[in-house]
Amino acid sequence: MHGRIKIKSTAQQEEEKRKEREKKLKIYVSARDTCFSKRKEGILDEEALQVTQQLLSSNPDFATLWNYRREILMHLETVKEKDEVQKIYEAELAFLESCLKLNPKSYGSWHHRCWVSARLPRPDWSRELSLCDRCLSLDDRNFHCWDYRRMVVKVSGVPVAQELGFTDRLIGSNFSNYSSWHYRSTLLPLLHPESPESPSPSHEPPQPSPSHSPQTQSHRVCEEQLLKEYELVQNAFFTDPNDQSAWFYYRWLLGRAEREEMISCVYVSRDEERVAVAFSRPVNAQSVSLLLVLDGQPQKVEWKSVHPRFKHSPVCICDLPPGTISDITNEHNLTVHWTEKYTHRDCALYTGRTESWCRDSATDQELFRSELSVEKTSVLQSELQSCNQLLELEPLNKWCLLTIVLLMRALDPLGYEKETLAHFQTLKEVDPMRSAYYSDLCSKFIIENTVLKMEYAEVRVFSITDKNLTTLCHLDQLLLVTHINLSSNQLQQLPPQFAMLQCLEVLEVDNNRIENLEGVYHLPKLEEVLLKNNKISALADLQPLASCPKLRRLDLRGNPVTQAANIESELTALLPSVTDLLL
Amino acid sequence: MAAEELPSEFDVVILGTGLPESVVAAACSRVGQRVLHLDRRSYYAANWASFTFNGLLSWIQQYQEEPQPKEVQDWSSLLDEGEELVYLSNPDSASISNLQVFCFTSEEDEEEAQSSDLPNPTEEKAVNEDTDVKPSADSNEEATTEKQETVGGAEEEQVTPTEGEEQDTDKPHLSTAQSQLEPTRKRITYAHLVKEGRRFNIDLVSKLMYSRGSLVDLLIKSNVSRYAEFKNVTRILTYRNGNVEQVPCSRADVFASRQLSVVEKRKLMRFLTSCMEETEEHQAYSGRPYLEFLCDQKLGDNLQHFLLHSIAMVTEDTPIEEGLAATRHFLRSLGRYGNTPFLFPLYGLGEIPQCFCRMCAVFGGIYCLRHSVDCLVVDKDTNRCKAVIDNRGQRISCSHFVVEDSYVGKKAAAPRRLLSRAVLITDGSVLPSDSDQQVSMVTIPPVAARYPVVKMVELCPSTMTCIPGTYLVHLTCQSAGSAYEDLAPVVTRCFHTPDSPDQENRPSVLWCVYFNMVDGSGVELEGHGLPSNVYVCSGLDSTLGHEYAIRQAELIFQKILPEEDFCPPAPNPEDIIYDGENPSTPAGEEDEDGAGEEGKREQSQTQE
């Protein structure tokens, strides 16, 4: 009576599916073979175009076929009329759209689309842009599409403001999106460049033009816009403080200005007849274009890094020809030119002096702080307040804690020292997975503060004891230090950068975990090394000390190496200059 | 047309095409039961139906007419030994009451209005009640009342310029303040509403589908979703301090909100995250009001209002358990399909019961509209219903009978709760925004003491429920008085009407209807002195979602077929084998074409 419905059984359905699949496979394989043989024979006709289309529409990730297709298209370009070519390429774009529907993250399809768009005689960029809009609304993290969009924007000169509006929309719908935030960070400096009267560290003229690659621009943004961005990003991290994309963007906003490229210090030593030059950023000692002028005469010298382990270093040294400045009764005037940067620094070595230097101190440059105007400092102060507000609500949020630390550094590194250290303690507790990272960062800040204190005191003694230091950094700032005390920390090594301490005479690193002395290398003035209670276990680890000609006192008590047989005689052989050896 | 004989034997006979009945029908048919699904009305979905504007006017007219007492026919001749008849009650028109219609937009043509019939007495009364407080001239009231009588009349022939600039004489019943309002705004006339009337789909009930509610789950599970399309509710609004504001409820909303301070944003997000899991803190408040818990969280007035009224949508004395459950239901549904927890079916909620009917028909269910059951044939010994006798005297045997509660009527004589409903056609959104295609859910806390909480849904033209330039607004609350008494205060606050002439910045109400519906929640499935294999579907309930109706359908299904799966996925059409025995399209297939489309009404007529 009723037409009862019967449904195919699962077995029936699967059998059908299997047959279907087999059929498809057969077609696919034969089409593939056709393509390969055609390509081998060098046939570039429209039939091949059709067959490859058939294959690619089921498998858009077949790179060889895309290549073949490009060969055919390039051939057709030479034999067809311009209008026909336009039609062919438009069809190609339509076909690509269907491929992207199949796999929106297909490398082959996106690459081919770039290629086609570039060759299209009359490209329709607005259409391409709306394709990107559509794709990104479906998946706002499709990086293929982001890449393509950047290409389209660049070629078609889409106004920067329009693109910024686009990121507004995407961030509005979901702010957990690095791509959008990052895109913003490249657009803002173009649209709202830092006003020219404020000290622009890189002397590039701001030219907001859409085709201008952001990389060559200053990365700074004018203050008015910065304030708006702070507000935007605060909304994001108050809404979801565990989402890191907003915090990363925030850090970019707070980022300090780039430092001017300059020679920060020139040091000359009469005894070693050596010149050391410190730069504001690491340079390649071999290729940096430096000119040393001594008493008006250009000198031919060989610049080298302080340690063979690294080519790039913020400190370069050179040895003057023997006898050039060794006479203590002579006065010498030295100028180092950094020719490619059009900058130089003078240094005078007066009669009766064994050494001399000329430099900008870290305190003069506010080296470890942001370069900020007074207004900006007040802005940072209010940013710190908001973050503290958030911390009250979320006392265990690591991003908030870390950002507060950074803000405090930017505002007043010495004034906030105590609070900073307390926050680091909390950070290590709430985020134990990254406790080593926090220890290193904390070490860095402690070193920065100590450098500042040392320079305010105008001494050449650097001392950080019992502060749980895990790493050493900013060693270029210690070029002039003669006495360093790092006892009772958690240091495991004296890294190659340690060789920048060209003036060092006394090194105290008792009670650490040092296994490696690589950085104690060719330190011309080093006399004493105190290494009590460390982890030096092999004689070979002490090898670098042999390169320090003036070493006379070495304390190795409490190191495993002292247990070795014949250690004393071997050490005497290795370090003949040492007269005072404690084992 | 001569009545075509129906088959005389079914497994399940269902009377009434409301949502629960339709779901039961689909579920039974899907697992191979022979289903006969009847409705005495000329349209599907009973009180769950959606109407065109003109359809709604007819529906109003029908309820305003005096119900004609139906003579009870004696079918005892059809009885066998040991059987007795149980008569179903007259379909009671009391499920709809207190109908009141107001038109605040102008006639296109004064003469047209005058040529129409005299007003129906009940209606005039209703309107006069309203006009007592309205500062407008008598002659204008006539225009207002009369135009409603053009309903079944000649308006089809009217050739009306649809967007003509309105002349001053066309709106004599408007107050002075209103007539000065935005002279550039093109007012939509009543004639235009009627002319474009078929583009409206006006729901009798107003509900929304929770994205993770049982209805959505069922639509997905059963593949019935393929018969309908849905739109996201785009924003949650609330009425507060005399203004309509957006409620930030999703992460993106909270981020973008301009009303909240960053600290409020954090507090709100934290609260929403923390309430997803039962905590000891929650337990400590056990039995106490949710509001008390919210107060102690020190969230501030803003957030407290949003959380209580817009997200949990509960009242101030709701206990914490219920409040948290409602909050979680809301939050779980959030983000599945968009930034709000709700979906709305294109072409109105009346589509949903029809989708299930269609599923039933695909699997062989037989549909007849304008066809009712007069009485049940009950075996005296077993007290089971053996058969039903339809209104043409055909005896149809069945194993189970499911019936809409209005046929059981007075026997369930418990004092019934009512819902107050209002449907407005307005000329703008309550909260204009960049996009004019917003679908908004608006929660309105009691406007004054003793007033109920009102839920308002504002539909834009892209939901296919109203014409461009208008919005369709549904208001619902549990009745304290008549629908007009309950809802008119809200309407005058949120909209520009002749009663609120000073609110020129608010959207104007062009036309509106108020009515009360019976709140059927609480009606028992069985009992009512009926045989044990007869199940009663209670009509509507006052909640926003569909949980109640779906749960009820599932319960009934489980009583009928305790061993069977409830609405298993329907197979794809290509997996269905049509037997050689019945090479033409199966009976169900024909009905399928009808169900869910306009054609179904004609088709069911032919069945008569």
* pLDDT tens digits for range B506-528: 999 999 999 999 888 776 666 66
Segments forming the whole domain that contains residue A569: 460-581
Give the model's pLDDT for residue A409.
85
Please list every residue in chain A whose beta carbon sits closer than 8 Å to the beta carbon of residue B362: 5
The domain total for chain A is 4
How far is B232 from chain A, CA to nearest CA, in Å? 15
Domain boundary among A141, A161, A181: A161
**Nearest C-alpha in A relative to B8:** A1
Return the residue in A4, A180, A383 with the most chain B beta carbons within 10 A, the one to mutate for interface testing: A4
Q: Which residues contact B603 (CB under 8 A, 6 or more apart)?
A: B591, B594
Q: Do B362 and A5 touch (CB under 8 A)?
A: yes
Q: Do B251 and A240 touch (CB under 8 A)?
A: yes
Please list every residue in chain B whose beta carbon sits closer than 8 Å to the beta carbon of residue A241: 266
Note whether A416 and A297 are same-domain residues. no
Note whether A79 and A120 are same-domain residues. yes
Q: Do B262 and A173 touch (CB under 8 A)?
A: no
Note whether A372 and A335 are same-domain residues. no
CA distance A521 to A539: 16
Q: Do A3 and B265 touch (CB under 8 A)?
A: no
How far is B364 from chain A, CA to nearest CA, in Å? 6
Interface list for A 173-202 with B (CB within 8 A): 173-175
How far is B41 from chain A, CA to nearest CA, in Å? 25
**Nearest C-alpha in B relative to A6:** B577
Note whether A393 and A523 are same-domain residues. no
Q: Which of B251, B252, B266 sits opposite A390 (nearest CB)?
A: B266
User: Considering only A448-452, B134-138, B227-231, B239-243, which range has the smallest mean pLDDT?
Assistant: B134-138
Domain boundary among A306, A341, A359: A359
* pLDDT tens digits for range B364-400: 999 999 999 989 999 988 989 999 999 888 999 999 9
How far is B11 from chain A, CA to nearest CA, in Å? 12
CA distance B365 to B13: 10
Note whether A55 and A139 are same-domain residues. yes
Interface list for A 375-414 with B (CB within 8 A): 386, 389-390, 393-394
Note whether A432 and A548 are same-domain residues. no
pLDDT, mean over chain B: 81
ipTM of predicted assembly, 2 dp: 0.77
Of residues B230, B218, B229, B164, the one with CA closest to residue B191: B164
Stretch A79-108: mean pLDDT, rounded?
92
A190 within domain boundaries:
no
Would strands A483-485 and A461-463 be described as parallel, antiparallel, or unpaired?
parallel
Q: Which residues contact B111 (CB under 8 A, 6 or more apart)?
A: none
* pLDDT tens digits for range B4-62: 788 999 999 999 999 999 999 999 999 999 999 999 999 999 999 999 999 999 999 98
A48 within domain boundaries:
yes
User: Considering only A352-366, A468-482, B227-241, B345-359, which range has the smallest mean pLDDT?
Assistant: A352-366
Q: Chain centroid to CA A136: how far?
A: 28
The sign of the torsion formed by the CA atoms of B334, B337, B338, B341 equals: negative
Q: Chain centroid to CA A18: how far?
A: 52
Q: Do A241 and B252 touch (CB under 8 A)?
A: no
**Nearest C-alpha in B relative to A392:** B263
Question: In the numeric block, which tokens belong to residue A54?
Answer: 């058939």
* pLDDT exceeds 80 at position B590: no
A371 within domain boundaries:
yes
Q: Say what angle helices B214-222 and B547-560 make with each other, to 10 degrees.
A: 50
State the burial class of residue A37 (Cβ atoms within 10 Å of its Cβ: 0-12, 13-18, 19+): exposed
Q: Which of B266, B363, B364 sits opposite A393 (nearest CB)?
A: B266
Q: Do A172 and B255 touch (CB under 8 A)?
A: yes
The percent of residues above 70 in pLDDT, for chain A, comes to: 91
What is the CATH number for A49?
1.25.40.120
* pLDDT exceeds 70 at position B443: yes
Give the model's pLDDT for residue A131.
93
Of residues B294, B256, B251, the one with CA closest to residue B275: B294
Note whether A346 and A384 are same-domain residues. no
* pLDDT tens digits for range A194-204: 765 544 444 44
Split at pLDDT 50, 70, 90, the class of B410 is low
Question: In the numeric block, which tokens belong to residue A385?
Answer: 């307040």
Q: What is the value of pTM for the model shown? A: 0.78
Note whether A315 and A430 are same-domain residues. no
Domain boundary among A448, A475, A494: A448
* pLDDT exceeds 50 at position B607: no
Return the residue in A2, A170, A382 with the most chain B beta carbons within 10 A, the one to mutate for interface testing: A2
What is the CATH number for A312?
2.60.40.1130
Note whether A542 and A572 are same-domain residues. yes
Backbone dihedral region of A478: left (phi > 0), alpha (psi from -120 to 50 degrees) or beta? Answer: alpha
pLDDT, mean over chain A: 88
CA distance B484 to B515: 7
CA distance B321 to B318: 8
* pLDDT exceeds 60 at position A223: yes
**Nearest C-alpha in A relative to B588:** A3
Class of domain B9-49+349-414+522-560: alpha beta
* Residue A59 DSSP class: -
CA distance A29 to A32: 5
* pLDDT exceeds 70 at position B161: no
Q: Which of B265, B576, B582 sits opposite A235 (nearest CB)?
A: B265
What is the CATH number for A563?
3.80.10.10
* pLDDT tens digits for range B168-212: 434 344 344 444 444 445 678 999 999 999 999 999 999 999 999
A184 within domain boundaries:
no
CB B564 within 8 A of CB B31: yes
Would strands B471-478 and B454-459 be described as parallel, antiparallel, or unpaired?
antiparallel
Note whether A435 and A466 are same-domain residues. no
